[in-house]
Amino acid sequence: DGGITQSPKYLFRKEGQNVTLSCEQNLNHDAMYWYRQDPGQGLRLIYYSQIVNDFQKGDIAEGYSVSREKKESFPLTVTSAQKNPTAFYLCASRMVAVSSYEQYFGPGTRLTVT
C-alpha cells in the first residue's frame, strides 16, 4: 500500500531534549512538508522540501531543523530552542511534476514535552 507513515504516533519528552520525528512516503512524491497544529489553530508550515538535499523555511521554522537526504524521507528535529513544542505534527507530500497541488497527509505525531 502506498502512503505516508509517521512514527511514533505519540511521543513524550522532557524539556531541554531534542527529538526527531520520522516521516516516510512511498508515493514517489517530490515535495514534502511539515506542519504543526495546535488546538483552535490552523495548520502552520514549519519546513518544506521540493527536491532532495534542498529545503526551505516555512512560517514558523525557529527551533526546528530538517534534512532531505532521500526522496522518501523528511525527518523533523524539534530542538530545545523551540519554546512551545507540544503540538500535533503532520507531514505531507505531493507530486510536483504534474500541474496539481494537492497535498496528502500522514497520520501525525502527537508530541508532548513536559
Partner 1 sequence: RKEVEQDPGPFNVPEGATVAFNCTYSNSASQSFFWYRQDCRKEPKLLMSVYSSGNEDGRFTAQLNRASQYISLLIRDSKLSDSATYLCAILTGGGNKLTFGTGTQLKVEL
C-beta of 14 vs 86, nearer to partner 1 = 86
Q: How many CB atoms lie within 10 A of CB 6?
A: 19
Is the distance from CB of 22 to CB of 6 less than 8 angstroms? Answer: yes
Minimum distance, C-beta of residue 43 to partner 1, in the bound complex (Å): 4
Minimum distance, C-beta of residue 31 to partner 1, in the bound complex (Å): 8
Q: Which three cell numbers stand for residue 76?
A: 523533523
Strands 4-7 and 54-57: unpaired
Residue from 53, 84, 100, 114 binding partner 1 (CB under 8 A): 100
Q: Which three cell numbers stand for residue 30?
A: 517530490
C-beta of 19 vs 47, nearer to partner 1 = 47
> Which residues inside 39-98 make contact with partner 1, applying CB under 8 A?
40-45, 48, 50, 56, 58, 88, 90
Q: Residue 26, by phi and psi: left (phi above 0), alpha (psi -120 to 50) or beta?
A: alpha
Residues that bind partner 1 (CB under 8 A): 31, 35, 40-45, 48, 50, 56, 58, 88, 90, 100-108, 110
